[in-house]
Structure 1
Amino acid sequence: MTTLLFDGSFPGLLTAIFEVYEYKLNDVRLATADSNPVLFGEQREVVTDASKAKRVWQGIGNCISGEARHQLYQAYLSELDTMPQTLLAYFQYAFFKQTNVHEDFSHPAVLTVHQTVRKVYREKHRMEAFVRFSETTDGLFYAVVEPDFDVLPLIAEHFEKRYADQRWVIYDCRRKYGIFYDLSSVQVVEMNFSPDMLQGKDASAAWNEKEAGFQHLWQQYFNSVNIASRKNTALHIRHMPLRYWKYLPEKQPAGTGMAG
C-alpha cells in the first residue's frame, strides 16, 4: 500500500487525488501529515499544487452537478479521519461512471458523504442561529464559537449579508482561526486570545460601555418569555444543545457576561 500524506487542506486533498491518477496508484491511502504513521508500505509526501487541484475540481464538475460538488467540500469540512479516503473513493467512482452519482446510495462512499453532509449542514444552521456578538471598545463585534465541524467557511456569506453595515469577527477557538468582515469583504484571520478571554473571565474589559447592559437585556428577555409551567428541558436541549450554552448571553446567570 502507498500512503499519500497531504497538508490537510482541501487543495492538498485534491492534489493527492490527482497524483493517484498521475502515478496510476491502485492500493493507496490518503492521510494528513499528522495522522498516525503506517508501519508497512510506502509513504509519499504530497506538495499542494493549485493547478493540479484545479484540474481535479474541474474534472469532477464535469461528472456531477454543482450542488453535489459543493457537498464534497462540505463533507471535507467534517474533518473526519476517514473522510479523505471516502472522498477518494467517491471521486474514483464518479470518474469511472462519468454520470451524476450523488444519489447512488448503493455505493458506500456516496452514502457516507450524504450522511456526513447532513450533519455538517445541521451544525452550519445552528451556528447561524446561535452566534451572539459582543461589541468591543473600538466598535468591532466579535463572537467565539466551538463547532463540531469546520463550518466557518460555510457561514461567512450568511453573516456578511446579515451584518453588512458593521465590522465583525467570528473566532473558532477549537481551530484557532476566525473570519473577519471589514465592511467590504470577509477574510480568514488568525488571532491569539488569552485563555481567560476565551473562558470569558476578562472579556468584559474589551466591551463597549453599553455591552454589559445589552447582555443584561438579553437575559431579562429570555427570562420574561420563558414559561415555567411549560418548561420542557429535553426538547429545549434537543434544539439548543448544552455545548452552545456557554456562548449565549441568555444562558448566563443574571448579572454576568457571556463566556467568549
Structure 2
Amino acid sequence: MQRHAPGLPAAVPITALRRPGELPPSFRSSGRFTYDGSFDGLLTVVLACWEQRLWPEAIQPEGAAQGGLFAETQHIETDEERARRVWDGLLRHMPGEARTSLYKTFLSERPDRELLIFRYVQLAIEAGGQDISENFGNDTVRLVADINKQLFREKHRMEAFVRFEKSHDGLFHATVEPDFDVLPLIAEHFTKRYADQRWLIFDRRRGYGLYYDLQRTDILSFDAASDAPRSGSAVSAAVLDEREPLFQTLWQTYFDHVNIPERRNLKLHRRHMPKRYWRFLTEKQPRERRFEPIQNKNNAA
C-alpha cells in the first residue's frame, strides 16, 4: 500500500484528459467556498475540499465572494494545524521548490490564484509522485511558472529600489508600493543586509510593513490610514534626523556625477528602473540646487 501524508488523499493515477466540466474520479460533486484571505486559510479550504470530496467551482476571500445562482457558498474557518498538515504533506507529491512556487502564486494576488493553486496540487497528486513543475504543456503548470517569474522580478527590484530615510529616533524607514505582495519574499534579504540597524519597510498599497528591531523581523499591520507611514516626500521634517536632508543631497550628487550625459539612454533606463518606482527613489526627487559637473582638470597653459 502506498503511504501518503496525513490530510492528503492518496495518489490517483492520471487518466485520459477529462472533458470540460467533468470531475476527477475522487470527487463526487462541486462546491463554492470562502475563507479569510490568508494562506493558512486557503490550505484549510484545500483540505476541506478533499475531505468532503467537493471539487471547488470557486474559492474566494470572504467579503469579495460572488455567490452562484443556485449553488450555496460554504465558509471554511482557518485552522493553522490543519493547514500545517497540508503544507507538510505537499512534500510527498512535489519538491520543496515547487511547493514554494505555490506560496508565491498566492502572493501574486491574482483573482484566480486559489483555484490555480488547487488545480496544481491536484495535478501533482494525480501524477503519483512524479515532478510536474516542468510539464509546461499543461496550462496550469505553465501559468504558475510564469507567475513565479514575475514575482522574482518584482522581488529583485524591491531589493534594489528600497530607499531608507533616518528618523530622529534612529529608525530607518522606507515606503514601497510593489505590484505584488512581495514583502514576505524580501524580509530575509534586508534582515541579513541591515542587521545592525532598526528599520521599517511599509507597503502603502496593502497597509502593512516589515519591522526589524535588531533581534527579529516582524509583520506590522496598520488598522487606520492615519496610523500608516506616508511616502518619503510627505514625511514631516520634524520626524527626520537632522542630517537626513544632507544624506539625501549627497546621494543625489553621487547619482548625478556617475551619470555620463553622452551615454544617456532613457529607454534602457526605464527598462531597468521602471517609472512607477521613481516616486520613492531619492535620486529621482527634484533637486534643491542645480547640478554642475566637477571641474577636476587643470586648464592647459
State the TM bucket, normalised to the shorter chain. over 0.9
Q: Name the structure with the higher helix share.
A: 1
Worse overlay, 204-213 or 174-183: 204-213
Worse overlay, 81-90 or 187-196: 187-196
Deviation of the 1:200 alpha carbon: 2.3
Deviation of the 1:142 alpha carbon: 0.3
Residue 7 to residue 196, structure 1, CA distance change in 2 (3 Å): closer
Among residues 133, 140, 161, which one is paired with 2:164 in the alignment?
Answer: 133
Aligned-partner residue type, residue 59 of structure 1: G
Corresponding residue of 1:121: 152
Deviation of the 1:193 alpha carbon: 5.9
Corresponding residue of 1:216: 249
Corresponding residue of 2:263: 230
Aligned-partner residue type, residue 54 of structure 1: R
Alignment of 1:79-98 (within 5 A): 79-98=109-128
What are the Cα deviations for residues 126-169 of structure 1, in whole angstroms up to 9, with x where unaligned? 00000010000000000000000000000000000000000001
Deviation of the 1:26 alpha carbon: 2.7
Supply the distance in 1 between the matched residues of 2:265 and 2:166 (Cα, whole angstroms): 32
SS at match of 1:209: coil
Is there any run of 5+ residues in structure 2 with no aligned partner, and where?
1-29, 290-301
Q: Is 1:249 aligned with 2:282?
A: yes
Query: Would you say how many aligned residue pairs link Structure 1 and Structure 2?
Result: 256
Supply the distance in 2 between the matched residues of 1:27 and 1:156 (Cα, whole angstroms): 33
- Asked which structure has the greater CA Rg, the reply is 2
What are the Cα deviations for residues 215-238 of structure 1, in whole angstroms up to 9, with x where unaligned? 011111111111112111110000
SS at match of 1:212: helix
Q: Is 1:75 aligned with 2:113?
A: no
Residue 145 to residue 153, structure 1, CA distance change in 2 (3 Å): same
Aligned-partner residue type, residue 82 of structure 1: D
Deviation of the 1:115 alpha carbon: 0.4
Q: Normalising by structure 2, what TM-score?
A: 0.81
Q: Percent identity?
A: 44
Among residues 33, 38, 43, which one is paired with 2:73 in the alignment?
Answer: 43
Supply the distance in 2 between the matched residues of 1:197 and 1:127 (Cα, whole angstroms): 18
Q: For the aligned residues, what is the CA RMSD?
A: 1.7
Is there any run of 5+ residues in structure 1 with no aligned partner, and where?
none
Among residues 38, 57, 60, which one is paired with 1:31 in the alignment?
Answer: 60
Among residues 167, 187, 209, which one is paired with 2:198 in the alignment?
Answer: 167
